[in-house]
Chains A and B, each alone.
Chain A
Amino acid sequence: MSHTLQTKNLHSGYDQNVILQDVNLSIPENKISIIIGSNGCGKSTLLKTMARLLKPTSGDVFLDKKSIYQIQSKKLAQTVGLLPQSPIVPEGITVADLVGRGRFPHQSMFSSWSKKDYEAVATALDMMNIAEFSDRHIDELSGGQRQRVWIAMALAQQTDILFLDEPTTYLDITYQVEILDLLKDLNLKYGTTIVMVLHDINLSARYADHLFAVKDGKLIAEGSPNEIVTSELIKETFNLDCQVINDPISNTPLVLPISRYHK
């Protein structure tokens, strides 16, 4: 089943600081959308506000035309999931147990794991290729493996919409590509709508079906990478001079920065 997610006149921020200003957007269903922008532009704020981690100062977020603040939080968690930027690992927890916590919105109180819970956890572990670690403690794993565990937890939640806040940060390039490939698998196999914040513009152009460019808290452009990634847009968004060529591997735009020493 697909769901629609929209924002209307969305303003948001921390304390009295309004970061996000008047954002109106609609997330394409069953697609991968990536939010890009420079540091502090409000892209993470936008993601957090859409995923109800931050309450808008004004405006609203709508899931299937209904304000997400009028949906019971557990019910909402069955449709919308999020992988936070820095989740906390409880001491001594095993991989399977952590992934199992993703089942919380589907479980009734007191009852122990159902067959469906076990199946969802097993599927998530297999999809992220971490089944062999299921009994290991999280602290024994490498950064890339850990990130796959967290994504598996979000997968076990089995939501149709999945938000990810910089899922590849601190990972080396091999793991970055691996994680993004796995997310693409998820999108193709289950039609999961994926919305994420990524720093790397070239990887974003490769994996995104739809890009949202944010600057100073405003949405300045959106569309498919081939449509919108131009040297003008990059200059405006990141204040960076660049040349945009075709990425021969993926046939998507490839941004080559022009630096002071390399003109």
Chain B
Amino acid sequence: MNNNTLKTIIQSRTKRKHRYITTMVILNVITFALCCAMLMLGNTIYPVKDVLAVLLGEEVKGASFTVGTLRFPRMLACLLAGFAFGVGGYVFQTMLRNPLANPNVIGITAGSSAAAVFCIVVLQASNTVISIAAVVGGLLTVTIIYGFSRTTSFSIGRLILIGIGIQAMLNAFISYLMLIAKTHDLPTALRWLSGSLNGTKIETILPLLILLVICTPILMYFARHLEMLELGEQAATSLGVSTNRVRIILLVSAVLIIALATATTGPIAFISFLAGPIARRIVGVGFSALIPSGLIGAILVLGADLIGQFAFETRFPVGVITGIIGAPYLIYLLIKMNREGNI
């Protein structure tokens, strides 16, 4: 072995490691700053001192209700749902080696929405049942898609096409449900069609928080396996990855957090689609962009909600803003992939 070669590769990897750490620090700082902004800004602007006091449990006149009961749950919902969409989207896009293959496009969020809307409109079910139905709907959709795309060997192209087909069917089903829905159910049902953070309560966020605490370490553990899967079935297998088992663990974890995030905030458009590619670009190669994707997702949702709330005369739901940002990127990506012949 040549010592110069050893030195070169150690140096260049150390350099990229520093870049990775710097990126992580910056992303954390931005996320934190946006969280603070969400707590401070509103009809009344509270100084950092008051916000901190409320968070530490002290009673501050006025601020306790506004910050503690209204703004804090909303901020937490943005943070957690953004993180969940970002991480879940990254897992899908990386595992399926295609930026189009994210839960929005292949119908998994549609599966959650359809199940939830069905419970609201037809069963008149309670909130807990609706949330559980959303998770089951997401899992069921992914099981169907995975089952169809895996005969004896697994094909990614087949999975994406089947996903798009199922997505279209589910959307038709949702449209049908909206037509037969009673007028007073419509506002609740609409929330499942575009993301909204209005009236978020701390109790509704708790399940998502618990799930993220469980699933994030699992996904971090398997992030390395995910990198191996990128090399293709055969290379991953010969490097010692039990591809089917790992894929199922990754899929189930990612679907769970995405479905529960959808149950908390509604499907916030394009976050799971945008976060991964942005994180990849800024992290660079050689390191997993899993956690950075989650942070970018959180930053996008927090930022979009701030814009939606304060940038215009009327307040827009967060999903409208992320839709405006995401749609042009989708078009750009389609044009780019078409040119490269990857579609």
Q: Which residues of A contact B (CB under 8 A)?
A: 14-15, 48, 51-53, 73-78, 80-82, 84-88, 90, 92-94, 96-97, 101-102, 104-105, 107, 109-110, 112-113, 118-119, 121-123, 125-126, 131, 134-135, 157, 163
Is A101 a contact partner of B152 (Cβ separation < 8 A)? no
Is B240 a contact partner of A76 (Cβ separation < 8 A)? yes
**Is B5 an interface residue when CB atoms closer than 8 A count as contact?**
yes
A73 vs B236: C-alpha distance when bound (angstroms) = 11
Is A94 a contact partner of B239 (Cβ separation < 8 A)? no
Is A15 a contact partner of B152 (Cβ separation < 8 A)? yes
Among the listed A48, A75, A104, A112, which residue makes an inter-chain contact with B239, where contact means beta carbons less than 8 Å apart? Answer: A104
Is A126 a contact partner of B1 (Cβ separation < 8 A)? yes
**Is B128 an interface residue when CB atoms closer than 8 A count as contact?**
no
Within 8 A of A (CB), among B259-303: 280, 284-286
| Given A76-B240, A96-B9, A119-B6: A90 and B1 interface contact (C-beta under 8 Å) | no
Is B234 a contact partner of A125 (Cβ separation < 8 A)? no
A78 vs B285: C-alpha distance when bound (angstroms) = 25
Is A84 a contact partner of B235 (Cβ separation < 8 A)? yes
- The digit string for B22-58, where 1 denotes a CB below 8 A from any CB of A, is 0000000000000000000000000000000000000
The residue in chain A whose Cβ has the minimal distance to the Cβ of B233 is A53
| Given A52-B237, A77-B240, A101-B228: A109 and B5 interface contact (C-beta under 8 Å) | no
| Given A14-B152, A93-B285: A78 and B240 interface contact (C-beta under 8 Å) | yes
A104 vs B6: C-alpha distance when bound (angstroms) = 19
Among the listed B5, B220, B230, B240, which residue makes an inter-chain contact with A105, where contact means beta carbons less than 8 Å apart? Answer: B240
Which of chain A's residues have a CB closer than 8 A to the CB of B235?
82, 84, 87-88
Which of chain A's residues have a CB closer than 8 A to the CB of B242?
73
| Given A105-B240, A131-B5: A86 and B227 interface contact (C-beta under 8 Å) | no
Among the listed A75, A119, A122, which residue makes an inter-chain contact with B240, where contact means beta carbons less than 8 Å apart? Answer: A75
Which of chain A's residues have a CB closer than 8 A to the CB of B285?
90, 92-94, 97
Is A131 a contact partner of B2 (Cβ separation < 8 A)? yes
**Is B221 an interface residue when CB atoms closer than 8 A count as contact?**
yes
A170 vs B97: C-alpha distance when bound (angstroms) = 24
Secondary structure at the B interface, as helix, strand, loop or mixed, is: helix
Is A157 a contact partner of B232 (Cβ separation < 8 A)? no
State how many residues of chain B have any CB contact under 8 Å with chain A. 36
Which of chain B's residues have a CB closer than 8 A to the CB of A118?
6, 9-10, 13
**Is B151 an interface residue when CB atoms closer than 8 A count as contact?**
yes
Is B237 a contact partner of A53 (Cβ separation < 8 A)? yes
Q: Name the 10 nearest CB pairs between A and B, nearest first.
A: A77-B240, A84-B234, A82-B238, A74-B240, A105-B240, A88-B232, A122-B6, A131-B5, A122-B5, A90-B230
Instruction: Report the minimum CB–CB distance from B5 to chain A (whole Å).
Output: 4
A102 vs B236: C-alpha distance when bound (angstroms) = 10
A73 vs B240: C-alpha distance when bound (angstroms) = 5
**Is B231 an interface residue when CB atoms closer than 8 A count as contact?**
yes
Within 8 A of A (CB), among B217-257: 220-221, 224, 227-228, 230-235, 237-242
Which of chain B's residues have a CB closer than 8 A to the CB of A163?
238
Instruction: Report the minimum CB–CB distance from B332 to chain A (whole Å).
Output: 16
Within 8 A of A (CB), among B155-197: none
Is A109 a contact partner of B224 (Cβ separation < 8 A)? yes
Instruction: Report the minimum CB–CB distance from B281 to chain A (whole Å).
Output: 9
Which of chain A's residues have a CB closer than 8 A to the CB of B237?
52-53, 73, 82
Is A73 a contact partner of B1 (Cβ separation < 8 A)? no
Is B221 a contact partner of A110 (Cβ separation < 8 A)? yes
The residue in chain B whose Cβ has the minimal distance to the Cβ of A95 is B9
Instruction: Report the minimum CB–CB distance from A194 to chain B (whole Å).
Output: 14
Is B238 a contact partner of A135 (Cβ separation < 8 A)? no
Which of chain B's residues have a CB closer than 8 A to the CB of A110?
220-221
Which of chain A's residues have a CB closer than 8 A to the CB of B284?
92
The residue in chain A whose Cβ has the minimal distance to the Cβ of B15 is A135
**Is B338 an interface residue when CB atoms closer than 8 A count as contact?**
no
**Is B12 an interface residue when CB atoms closer than 8 A count as contact?**
yes
**Is B314 an interface residue when CB atoms closer than 8 A count as contact?**
no
Is A94 a contact partner of B5 (Cβ separation < 8 A)? no
**Is B126 an interface residue when CB atoms closer than 8 A count as contact?**
no
Instruction: Report the minimum CB–CB distance from B287 to chain A (whole Å).
Output: 9
A123 vs B6: C-alpha distance when bound (angstroms) = 8
Instruction: Report the minimum CB–CB distance from A149 to chain B (whole Å).
Output: 12
The residue in chain A whose Cβ has the minimal distance to the Cβ of B99 is A91
Which of chain B's residues have a CB closer than 8 A to the CB of A131?
2, 4-5, 8
Which of chain B's residues have a CB closer than 8 A to the CB of A14?
152-153
Is B12 a contact partner of A96 (Cβ separation < 8 A)? yes
Q: Which interface residue of B1, B2, B12 has the most chain A CB atoms within 10 A?
A: B1
Is A102 a contact partner of B239 (Cβ separation < 8 A)? yes
Among the listed A75, A78, A119, A135, which residue makes an inter-chain contact with B12, where contact means beta carbons less than 8 Å apart? Answer: A135
Is A97 a contact partner of B234 (Cβ separation < 8 A)? no
The residue in chain B whose Cβ has the minimal distance to the Cβ of A82 is B238
